[in-house]
Structure 1
Amino acid sequence: MKIMFKEPPPSPAPSLGPAARIRFSELCAGYPGRPVLRHVTGEIPESATTVLVGPNGSGKSTLLGVLAGVIKPTSGDLLRTGGRPPAFVPQRGAVGDTLPLTVRQTVEMGRWGERGPWRRLTARDHATVDTALGRLGIGDLASRQLGELSGGQRQRALIAQGLAQESDLLLLDEPTTGLDPEARERIGALLTALAADGVTVVQATHDLEVARAADACLLLQDGHLAEQGRPEQVLTTSALTRVWQAL
């Protein structure tokens, strides 16, 4: 397995094209005793929104974890450009409701990659946190405990933490699941605006309405990549029926 960043040494793996932020080839990954991804080959376009779609167990979260660097592939090639680490926003349920953190403290954790958890934040760090809070419309919630928030407010706090990392690669696992239409719309508009600003956004989702609004789509089935391309080309009635009827 090869994982390479920016200017990799010579390798038999293909080099990134100018429009690709990430490219992976014959990627395999999973968990002890449970392989999930099986020889997946695809790419993530730069400065665009990409959705990972598929049934439960198809490999969406595993692929997202590999792209985030929190799951180590067992084989295959992964190439990505950009010098900053990805910002990864897990599912809401992965963050405990009982953590004694305010919204501001939660977002400040996004600066730990720059400062470490024990160093004081600089004026620039605080300004970055303020910007992230404002962009998600939760500045007035900064002093509230994370566990006191509604689902939509809490999800916006987690996304603000990702924004505070100032990465050009934002990875989100089911960011709009269980949210009301207004919260889904707000988050969708933000992700579209981030892509327009040059951020590469990748999200796993079950929401076909969200998926059809993206720039690119990877349709997963049983750990394999069934289709990839623009959503209107991938999310056809025949393709969705084939993938879901195979369960």
Structure 2
Amino acid sequence: MLSLEKVCLQRGARTVLQDLSGDFRTGSLTAVIGPNGAGKSTLLAALAGDLAPTSGRIARAPGLRMAYLPQVSTLDRHFPLQVHEVVALGLWPQLGPWRGVARAQRDQVHAALHEVGLGKLANHPLQTLSTGQFQRMLFARLILQDAQLLLLDEPFAAMDEPSTRDLLDLLKRWQDQGRTVVTVLHDLAQVREHFSHALLLAGHAVAWGPVAEVLQPAPLQRAGYLLAPPHTGSTRTGTAREGCA
């Protein structure tokens, strides 16, 4: 579905990731993990097509339908929209700029809201939602995008445990439907319990494969997980990186 060949990514003059090669297999749940500054969000932006590789190649299956949920939503929480209107934006590829939402599509919106536990909040304004409810709403919008590949950057940050649990269950249902999910995460316990594959980054791919193989002490230590001072909360290794070839 998606493959990388010697990909190098930069932000300005800074090399963030280099020499990254591998495949995201169809129907896999892959957690992208690594210390702060390891290149996780940069990689997702590149996979989504928002950032071009400095060198190397990202190959996508022809006609691949993708959906991308960045770490920080650009949606104004105080914009005068109701929940169902935001979720309906997931139908944009079908509707285009001029067509209205038909009855069948309104039913799709409400079905997606019920699936994420927000059926009773369809007509609520955005500013009334909690952080967990807001993220559930964005997941409902993802449902309507009907994507084959879903790219999620820290989707459970600052969420309560019930919301996190429900959305992790949704990821598993997507996998059962044959969809491919790539998710940036920090919680290694979540990775162990819910994901089939992991990509461990530290400016390059330290390890990439089944979770049981990646989350071993040796690769985690090489990535810097076991080296950070515990009082700082940081896992940055500080390793110098060469520029892209």
- TM-score normalised per structure 2: 0.86
Q: What residue is the counterpart of 2:220 in the other structure?
A: 240
Aligned ranges 1:25-36 → 2 under 5 Å: 25-36=5-16
Asked whether the equivalents of residues 22 and 45 of structure 1 are also in contact (C-alpha less than 8 Å), the reply is yes
Gaps of 5+ in 2: 228-236, 239-245
3-state SS, counterpart of residue 100 of structure 1: coil
Asked whether the equivalents of residues 2 and 61 of structure 2 are also in contact (C-alpha less than 8 Å), the reply is yes
Deviations 1:170-204, CA, capped at 9 Å, x for gaps: 11110111112111111111101110011111111
3-state SS, counterpart of residue 117 of structure 1: coil
Question: Which amino acid in 2 is paired with 1:160?
Answer: A
- For residue 216 of structure 1, the aligned residue among 176, 197, 212 is 197
Which of structure 1's runs of 4+ aligned residues deviate more than 6 A?
none
Q: What residue is the counterpart of 2:206 in the other structure?
A: 226
- For residue 146 of structure 1, the aligned residue among 112, 126, 129 is 126
Question: Which amino acid in 2 is paired with 1:125?
Answer: Q
Aligned ranges 1:58-207 → 2 under 5 Å: 58-81=38-61, 83-207=63-187
Q: Percent identity?
A: 36
Asked whether the equivalents of residues 58 and 220 of structure 1 are also in contact (C-alpha less than 8 Å), the reply is yes
Question: Which amino acid in 2 is paired with 1:146?
Answer: L
Asked whether the equivalents of residues 110 and 122 of structure 2 are also in contact (C-alpha less than 8 Å), the reply is no
Gaps of 5+ in 1: 1-20
Alpha-carbon shift at residue 206 of structure 1 (Å): 0.6
Asked whether the equivalents of residues 33 and 40 of structure 2 are also in contact (C-alpha less than 8 Å), the reply is yes
Please provide the CA RMSD for this pair. Answer: 1.6
CA distance in structure 1 between the aligned counterparts of 2:133 and 2:177, rounded to whole angstroms: 24
Alpha-carbon shift at residue 219 of structure 1 (Å): 0.4
Deviations 1:129-165, CA, capped at 9 Å, x for gaps: 2222121111111111222211111111111111111
Question: Which amino acid in 2 is paired with 1:87?
Answer: A
**Corresponding residue pairs, total:** 226
Alpha-carbon shift at residue 94 of structure 1 (Å): 4.1
